[in-house]
């Protein structure tokens, strides 16, 4: 077997054999296949696609490159959730303890933000003392004692994906749906969860900008999960407007705690409950009531125990940015557009995100929303508050919010505003 013949097969729109896939993934992980050769193959996959059987085998080879976790010794059924990323998407924070409060175990392996999308680990690291890096034994201990853990994936889990992901990021091949699907699902299947719920974002602030591409990605991932014996379902959810009223690390933690306390923005509560019901049903607990667990304080109790079990202080004050700048409404009327991508870029430029994986983030930086599309606003009233420790960032962040990022219609026009449903489709 050699890399050139594998590249030529896909370049010429052929189907890669199981042997070719197994060999090239293993050889690339070991360093026998060079980065430029794998880059050529990734581009050929982007341009010519893969059949379902190819994607399934590619995913299996990625899984086989490392270890697999086993949660069969836990006394609870396991359920996990994965989001394809968005702006203000803090759902994992209230969701994991909520599902644990309803009787499932949630082994949530999460990542960091890159570009305009936030990262769950960055958000939680704004809590003093909280640790993202746990050994497998520590992870199991937290799952047994609390029922939920949110932590970083270990280096031994699908190492082929870690290497290929970094390569795709710098070679213009991130958008290849077969590679996106296999990247996500190889880690989730290797993680060992019994069931998985996918939150596939659609819209300007999401990776998938249109519903057709999102459906293709969701269907591919659901098929991969099913083929590997993991009960998998996907919700397609709107990401044309930020979720909730905050985008930024400590800001989103604060909002998540509000949800766990029985309050919080309606859209965050709606999506948290919808995903919780899907996870509990997939885990064989369809009669559990997540709304009651929010109302009676049991979800909050699991949150506090989960944070403490990972070294965090749930009572410690969260970081606050030193500087603020208020963006006011330019006219009176109905806010008809607040573009998720623009808000995400503004938060990123304020210091909440990173351009490279090694970049630091500001815990208190981000954007606070004072209105959402459909709300009536008054000229001169606060629309957004920008938070950062470095005020020289304000002008750069404000550039992202110009043009058509924010639209306000007159009262007569505004009455015709039709909000986009939060949940667009379900694929199982």
Q: Domains, the chain, ranges and CATH?
A: 3-49 (1.20.970.10), 80-154+169-309 (3.40.1030.10), 323-414 (3.90.1170.30)
pLDDT mean across residues, the chain = 94
Question: Once rounded to an integer, what is the mean pLDDT over residues 137-148?
Answer: 96
**199 pLDDT exceeds 80?**
yes
Q: What is the CA radius of gyration of the chain?
A: 22
Please report which confidence band the pLDDT of residue 117 belongs to, taking 50, 70 and 90 as the band edges.
Answer: confident
**pLDDT score, position 17:** 97
Neighbours of 423 (CB within 10 A): 14
Provide the percentage of residues in the chain whose pLDDT is more than 70. Answer: 99
pLDDT bin (cut points 50, 70, 90) of residue 410 is: confident
pTM for this prediction: 0.93
CA atoms within 13 A on the CB side of 416: 4
Q: Which of 71, 131, 83, 120 is nearest to 279 (CA)?
A: 83
What is the reported pLDDT for 154?
Answer: 83
**Which pLDDT belongs to residue 112?**
84
Does 187 participate in catalysis according to the annotation?
Answer: yes
Structure-block tokens of residue 30: 């070991």
Helices (H) and strands (E) in the chain, counts: 17, 13
Q: Cα dist. 344→34, 65, 240, 322, 364 in Å?
A: 35, 34, 11, 20, 15
CA distances from 79 to 127, 392, 414 (A): 25, 44, 42
Best CA proximity match to 6, nearest among 24, 27, 25, 28: 24
Which among 10, 57, 81, 82 is annotated as catalytic?
82
For 63-93, how does the pLDDT look when each residue is reduced to its tens digit (9 = 90+)? 999 999 999 999 999 999 999 999 999 999 9
Tens-digit pLDDT profile for residues 338-351: 999 999 999 999 99
Other CB atoms within 10 A of residue 190 CB: 25
Query: What pLDDT is recorded for position 116?
Result: 84
Average pLDDT over residues 101-111: 95
Question: 161 catalytic, yes or no?
Answer: yes
Contact 25, 62 (CB under 8 A): yes
Residue 412: per-residue pLDDT: 65
Asked if the model's pLDDT at residue 259 lies above 90, the reply is yes
Q: Which residue of the set 80, 161, 199, 227 is catalytic?
A: 161
Question: Which residue out of 182, 183, 195, 240 is catalytically annotated?
Answer: 183
Spatial CB neighbours of 298, under 8 Å, sequence gap ≥ 6: 101
pLDDT at residue 207 in the model: 87
Respond yes or no: is residue 238 known to be catalytic: no
Tokens encoding 12: 């010429």
Helices (H), 173-245: 177-191, 211-227
pLDDT (0 to 100) of residue 170 = 82
Beta strands across the sheet bearing 333-338: 376-377, 333-338, 406-409
Catalytic annotation, pick one of 10, 81, 116, 168: 168
Residue the block writes with tokens 């509990």: 280
Based on the residue annotation, tell me whether 325 is a catalytic residue of this protein. Answer: no
Q: Report the relative pairing of strands 148-152 and 106-110 from DSSP bridges.
A: parallel
Q: And the tokens for 381?
A: 């009233």
Instruction: Select which of 123, 187, 188, 387 is catalytic.
Output: 187
């Amino acid at each position: 077997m050699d890399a050139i013949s594998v590249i030529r097969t896909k370049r010429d729109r052929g189907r890669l054999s199981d042997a070719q896939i197994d060999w090239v993934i293993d050889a690339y992980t070991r360093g026998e296949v060079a980065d430029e050769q794998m880059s050529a193959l990734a581009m050929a996959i982007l341009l010519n696609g893969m059949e379902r059987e190819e994607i399934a085998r590619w995913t299996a080879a990625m899984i086989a490159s490392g270890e697999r976790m086993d949660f069969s010794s836990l006394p609870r059924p396991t359920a996990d959730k994965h989001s394809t990323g968005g702006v203000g998407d803090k759902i994992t924070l209230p969701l994991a303890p909520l599902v644990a409060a309803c009787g499932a175990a949630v082994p949530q392996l999460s990542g960091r933000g890159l570009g305009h999308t936030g990262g769950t680990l960055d958000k939680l690291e704004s809590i003093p003392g909280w640790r993202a890096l746990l050994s497998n034994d520590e992870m199991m201990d937290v799952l047994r004692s609390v029922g939920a853990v949110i932590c970083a994936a270990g280096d031994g889990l699908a190492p082929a994906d870690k290497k290929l992901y970094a390569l795709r990021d710098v070679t213009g091949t991130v958008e290849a749906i077969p590679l996106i699907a296999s990247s996500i699902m190889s880690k989730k299947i290797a993680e060992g969860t019994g069931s998985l719920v996918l939150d596939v974002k659609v819209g300007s602030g999401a990776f998938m900008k249109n519903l057709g591409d999102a459906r293709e990605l969701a269907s591919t991932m659901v098929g991969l999960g099913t083929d590997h014996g993991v009960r998998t379902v996907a919700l397609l959810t709107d990401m044309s407007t930020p979720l909730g009223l905050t985008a930024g690390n400590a800001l989103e933690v604060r909002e998540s705690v509000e949800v766990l306390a029985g309050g919080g923005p309606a859209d965050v509560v709606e999506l948290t409950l919808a995903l919780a019901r899907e996870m509990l049903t997939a885990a064989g607990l369809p009669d559990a009531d997540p709304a009651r667990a929010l109302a009676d304080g049991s979800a909050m109790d699991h949150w506090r125990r989960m944070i403490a079990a990972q070294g965090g202080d749930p009572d410690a004050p969260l970081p606050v940015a030193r500087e603020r700048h208020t963006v006011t409404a330019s006219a009176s009327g109905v806010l008809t557009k607040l573009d998720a991508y623009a808000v995400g870029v503004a938060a990123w430029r304020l210091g909440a995100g990173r351009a490279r994986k090694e970049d630091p983030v500001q815990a208190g930086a981000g954007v606070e929303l004072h209105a959402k599309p459909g709300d009536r606003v008054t000229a001169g009233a606060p629309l957004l508050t920008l938070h950062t420790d470095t005020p020289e960032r304000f002008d750069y962040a404000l550039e992202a919010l110009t043009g058509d990022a924010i639209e306000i219609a007159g009262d007569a026009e505004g009455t015709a505003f039709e909000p986009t449903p939060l949940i667009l489709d379900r694929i199982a």
